[in-house]
Amino acid sequence: MSISFDKALGIHEKALDFRAQRAEVLANNIANADTPNYKARDMDFSSVLAAESEKQQSGRFALDRTNSRHIEADGLALSDEALKYRTPLQPSIDQNTVDAQIEQSNYTENAIGFQASFTLLNSKFKGLVSALRGE
């Protein structure tokens, strides 16, 4: 009998991946807080994760290839459709839509969610290891 990691770990693996990608987007926003005409972007984590969960429920999915010589990818890269522009609460003279306090609070919230997902995934691995040892 073989262990299916996809079934054993559930969506937690993808949640970690999406949280890491969101951290990159938020860090990019913070880094460009003083760049004129920079438009802040973010992703709706819950909708992206729900879409991924729905794809996994319906079976294996494949990514579209634009060229027949491209290597088939397995998984999901964060696409431009998942990234949304943030509407600023206060307009700026240089048309930059980054609000440093909002970006930092979103980054912190994302980091806490990442740590929670990591802790859940770690407990799943500990359970699998104890099952393999027969404890």
Summarised one tens digit per residue, pLDDT across range 2-56 is 666 666 677 778 888 889 999 999 999 999 999 999 999 998 877 877 777 777 6
Predicted confidence band at 84 (pLDDT cuts at 50, 70, 90)? confident
| Residue-level pLDDT at 97 | 93
Kindly tell me if the per-residue pLDDT of 122 is higher than 70.
yes
| Residue-level pLDDT at 79 | 60
- Give the pTM: 0.72
| Residue-level pLDDT at 52 | 73
Cβ distance 26 to 42 under 8 Å?
yes
Dist. CA 94–CA 39, nearest whole Å: 11
Dist. CA 14–CA 16, nearest whole Å: 5
Unique residue bearing structure tokens 């027969």: 134
